Amino acid sequence: MNHDDLKRPLVVFDYERYLIDQEIDVFLSSVSARYTIGGLQRVATLADRTARRGAVLALGRLADYQANATLGRGLVDSDRGVRTLAENGIQRVWHRIGTPSQQRHLLTIREHLESKDFERAAQVSTAMVQDAPWIAQAWFYRGKSFFQLGQHEAATRDCHQALEINAYHFLAASVMGQSYLLQGDPVSALDSFRRALRLNPSMEEVRAQVIHLQRSLKDKK
């Protein structure tokens, strides 16, 4: 091990080993023994690209909602690998908030959405926003349910509320843009899509929407 290796964060070596053996449990066990969540958040801001990748991967698997801002900043990192890991990780921590019962309800709502039972998803989401109005993911899930049910104004309101609580919720900004579009408000849709892209520049479908709307609005002038 050379002098430069001695100065690199230990998570670098854990991450490089993970890339070889793909043993995520071994990686997480080793990182947990070396770092607190706060320590990983600090590593996620370092200049070393591999260190940031390792820290962001670990945060996405180990941290709760307290890491939301760190992972949110990772979405716009200069390194594509960090951005990808942050996108996956932040959606995990959005579900790690509230009591164990509330977390289970979030997973239940997600299952209803995945099975296209949008009525039931909206019902459970409504109960949850009444019980825990400070959980952004509950508002987003209800907004997404309303969108699928064709209730676009309600979807817009709920996605806006999700963003008020969690300013990094790029999915809420995207669904809000789609809702505005279907309400015949391309200007507001464009603003929402641009907001989603500022939060997560990796959303290529949203980027295509922005380009299309910009051209469409320009042609109407």
| 68 and 106 part of one domain | no
**Per-residue pLDDT of the chain in tens (221 residues, 90 and over written 9):** 444 555 789 999 999 999 999 999 999 999 999 999 999 999 999 999 999 999 999 999 999 999 999 999 999 999 999 999 999 999 999 999 999 999 999 999 999 999 999 999 999 999 999 999 999 999 999 999 999 999 999 999 999 999 999 999 999 999 999 999 999 999 999 999 999 999 999 999 999 999 999 998 877 76
Listed in sequence order, the residues at least 6 apart from 32 whose beta carbon sits closer than 8 Å to its beta carbon are: 62
| 59 and 119 part of one domain | no
Structure tokens at 151: 């209730």
Structural domain that includes position 26: 3-93
**What Cα–Cα distance (Å) separates residue 103 from each residue in 12, 78, 167, 202, 207?**
31, 32, 20, 27, 32
Task: Tell me what pLDDT residue 2 has.
Answer: 46
| 16 and 116 part of one domain | no
Residue at token pair 């997560």: 200
Rounded CA gap, 11 and 33, in Å? Answer: 11
Task: Tell me what pLDDT residue 217 has.
Answer: 85
Residue 59 and residue 71 in contact, taking contact as beta carbons nearer than 8 Å = yes
| 27 and 89 part of one domain | yes
| 71 and 112 part of one domain | no
Q: Name the domain boundary from 61, 93, 125.
A: 93
**What Cα–Cα distance (Å) separates residue 219 from each residue in 32, 127, 213, 214?**
55, 44, 10, 9
| 213 and 162 part of one domain | yes
| 157 and 212 part of one domain | yes
**What Cα–Cα distance (Å) separates residue 50 from each residue in 17, 46, 80, 145, 162?**
12, 9, 11, 38, 32
Instruction: Count up the domains in the chain and report the number.
Output: 2
Task: Tell me what pLDDT residue 216 has.
Answer: 86
| 63 and 164 part of one domain | no
Q: Name the domain boundary from 64, 93, 122.
A: 93
Q: DSSP characters for 37-76?
A: HHHHHHHTTSS-HHHHHHHHHHHHHH--GGGHHHHHHHTT
Task: Tell me what pLDDT residue 221 has.
Answer: 62
| 126 and 153 part of one domain | yes
Q: Name the domain boundary from 37, 60, 93.
A: 93
Report pTM.
0.93
| 35 and 112 part of one domain | no
Using alpha carbons only, what angle is made at residue 57 by residues 113 and 76, rounded to the nearest 5 degrees? 80
| 86 and 118 part of one domain | no
Q: Domain of 135: which CATH number?
A: 1.25.40.10
H helix runs in the chain, sequence order: 3-7, 10-21, 24-34, 37-43, 49-62, 68-74, 80-93, 100-114, 118-131, 136-148, 152-165, 170-182, 186-199, 204-220
